[in-house]
Amino acid sequence: MPLMTLTLAPETAPKQTAAPADAAFGASVGEGLSERQQEVLGAVLKLMVAEGDGFSVAAVARAASCSKETLYKWFGDRDGLLTATVRWQASKVRMPKLPQDKLTRESLEAALTGFAQSWLTVITGDLSIALNRAAVSHAGSGKSRLGAIVLTNGPFAMRHRLEPLFEAGRAEGLLSFDQVDTACRSFFGLVVADTQIRALLGEDHRPDETEIQTISATAAAHFMRLYGRG
Amino acid sequence: MPLMTLTLAPETAPKQTAAPADAAFGASVGEGLSERQQEVLGAVLKLMVAEGDGFSVAAVARAASCSKETLYKWFGDRDGLLTATVRWQASKVRMPKLPQDKLTRESLEAALTGFAQSWLTVITGDLSIALNRAAVSHAGSGKSRLGAIVLTNGPFAMRHRLEPLFEAGRAEGLLSFDQVDTACRSFFGLVVADTQIRALLGEDHRPDETEIQTISATAAAHFMRLYGRG
DNA sequence: CATGTACCGTACCGTACGGTACTGTGTCAA
DNA sequence: TTGACACAGTACCGTACGGTACGGTACATG
């Protein structure tokens, strides 16, 4: 599983105190963060998973064994710290490779199943849930771009990855749809359904690996029934 | 549209200071709340929509023109106030009536479309979004039953309403599925897809009435393609 | 009229937290 | 050796907020 793989940047010195550029998408993993800084962000992630955005900056400093002053120098304020953490984590999520050779109905359905399985695994993970919780909270109180960042790296990223696959399937005569958008919507719905919102709302049950496998296969099969050709 | 209809309780005097029983589901609208108390909860709702859970108790008192002491006497603490508000609002949401006479394929699909339309309308409303945001936030920090309440009155309530319809459809030979659960999951996914999570994450675009109508009809048709018989 | 009750308005208290300043320490370079 | 620097650790400040206490008012009941 290539998900959640951490690749360190080639040791960039933490020179400038200014905030990094505003890409929010497509940035490389390190993104100008020193190893020490990434350690700090890792500590923030742990705290977010454990306490869900309710932690204090002092707690971060304690957990990361660094001073509050350093945190403020590096990240500006609490929100900058949060934002950097979310962006850093988002940059670590890797999507599964999609088949580049000629598509068949079988390889397409298999790719969809794999994609669904990987997506569900990410989405139901503690980390993703914590991040989405924080983003949803902050999206409410105006201020803070957390919501937009997660939106970009969540649903939008999924669609961006899916669209070329669907287009390829259509070009190959395997799929049939008017707008890619609708197909994406249906696929997302069949795969995720109410799983994510239920998890965010604190439901105890989380699907295990075999359940995810079942759901993914069913979703892919259903999608092919709705949009497949021939 | 029978949604968001407020029916006042027949003027119950605000006698006891104790918190009401812990039903969280199926309670009648008034639920032992005086008119004045419901006014207060209405003010809380407005604040939640406007500022999303970040408001202070003092702000509630100001908005509702009542004293903080009264708030604490009635609702115990801030969380009790939040909980009462969410439960009160949840008790106001009314689901559309489903056909009770003999089902046909057409009436079934129409009922599904209507259900989907009503559900999407609720879910994309400012109020529902604010409530879900608050619930998601609080579900993170342990403590507080907000998450469970919204879970009960959201996804679970939808399933509870849907299941008998699906069972009836199956009994009538119109639908075919192994577990109602799977059918519910698919229907939810086809209807809601990523609409809710995107709204919660702060996406600007919200589907208007005609878009909702289109989505609902498509979702119902797709559902019938997947689970319909004959 | 006297008493009690329900409530508003507001002052108040304790605390927790965001943010800043200061001190001490290790490192590296001249 | 000395100075500059980056950082940890910590003390500190202002403020905002949850929660409480108290005084004042309207009304109801006897």
Alpha-carbon dihedral angle through residues A230, A188, B116, B197, given to the nearest 10 degrees: -170
| Interatomic distance A85 CA / C12 C1' (Å) | 40
Q: Which residue has the higher pLDDT, B14 or B40?
A: B40
Residue pair B134/B48 in contact (Cβ under 8 Å)? The answer is yes
For range B102-108, the mean pLDDT: 94
Contact B203 A151 (CB under 8 A): yes
Residues 6+ apart with CB under 8 A from B34: B11, B12, B13, B14
Fold of A35-92: Arc Repressor Mutant, subunit A (1.10.10)
Among B215, B118, B103, B120, which residue's Cα sits nearest to residue B164? Answer: B103
What is the pLDDT, as a whole number, of residue B94?
80
Fold of A105-227: Tetracycline Repressor; domain 2 (1.10.357)
Mutate to test the interface with A, among B145, B190, B200 (most CBs of A within 10 A): B200
Residues 6+ apart with CB under 8 A from B110: B220
The angle subtended at Cα B179 by Cα B177 and Cα B183, nearest 5°, is 65
Tell whether the model's pLDDT for residue B65 goes beyond 50: yes
- Segments of chain A assigned to CATH 1.10.10.60: 35-92
Inter-residue long-range contacts of A57-64, CB under 8 Å, 24+ positions, other chains counted? A57/A81, A64/A39, A64/A40
Nucleotides of C under 7 A from a protein CB: 6-11, 16-22
The helix or strand, by DSSP H or E, that contains position A88, with its residue range, turns out to be helix A78-92
Q: Is B140 on the interface with A (CB under 8 A)?
A: yes
The arrangement of secondary structure in B1-94, i.e. its CATH architecture, is: Orthogonal Bundle (1.10)
For range B21-46, the mean pLDDT: 74
Q: Is A203 on the interface with B (CB under 8 A)?
A: yes
Beta carbon of B58 within 7 Å of strand D? yes
List, in sequence order, every residue forming a beta bridge with B216; answer none if it has no partner: none
Residue A206 structure tokens: 């989380």
Beta carbon of B104 within 7 Å of strand D? no
Mutate to test the interface with A, among B129, B137, B218 (most CBs of A within 10 A): B137
Residue B128 structure tokens: 């529902």
What is the pLDDT, as a whole number, of residue B29?
60
Beta carbon of B78 within 7 Å of strand D? yes
Lowest-pLDDT choice from A40-54, B30-44, B126-140, B195-209: B30-44
Q: Which residue has the tokens 């709702």?
A: B45
What's the gap between Cα A115 and its chain centre? 13
- Segments of chain B assigned to CATH 1.10.10.60: 1-94
Q: Is A201 on the interface with B (CB under 8 A)?
A: yes
| The overall pTM is greater than 0.85 | yes
Nucleotides of D under 7 A from a protein CB: 6-11, 16-23
Tell whether the model's pLDDT for residue A33 goes beyond 60: yes
Residues 6+ apart with CB under 8 A from A225: B225, B226
Other beta carbons within 10 angstroms of residue B72's beta carbon come to: 16
Q: Which residue has the higher pLDDT, B192 or B31?
A: B192
Among B198, B206, B125, B192, which residue's Cα sits nearest to residue A148? Answer: B198
Cα-atom radius of gyration of chain A, to the nearest Å? 19
Residue A136 is nearest to which of B137, B141, B186, comparing CB atoms? B137
Per-residue confidence at A29, pLDDT binned at 50, 70, 90?
low
Percentage above 90 pLDDT, chain B:
77
Distance CA A187, CA A183 (A): 6
- Which residues numbered 3-42 in chain A sit less than 7 A from strand D, measured from CB? 14-15, 34, 36
Tens digits of residue pLDDT in B182-228: 999 999 999 999 999 999 999 999 999 999 999 999 999 999 999 99
CA distance readout (Å), B179 to A154, A197, B169, B170, B182? 30, 21, 13, 11, 6
Q: Give start and end residues of each alpha helix (H) in B52-156.
A: 57-64, 68-75, 78-92, 105-123, 126-140, 146-151
> Which nucleotide is closest to the Cα of A34 by its C1'?
D6
Q: Mean pLDDT for chain B?
A: 87
Residue pair A161/A98 in contact (Cβ under 8 Å)? The answer is yes
Question: Which protein residue has its CA closest to C1' of C8?
Answer: B67
| Interatomic distance A85 CA / C27 C1' (Å) | 28
Distance CA B19, CA A21 (A): 51
The helix or strand, by DSSP H or E, that contains position B50, with its residue range, turns out to be helix B35-51
Per-residue confidence at B95, pLDDT binned at 50, 70, 90?
confident
- Segments of chain A assigned to CATH 1.10.357.10: 105-227
Tell whether the model's pLDDT for residue A142 goes beyond 90: no
SS3 A59: helix
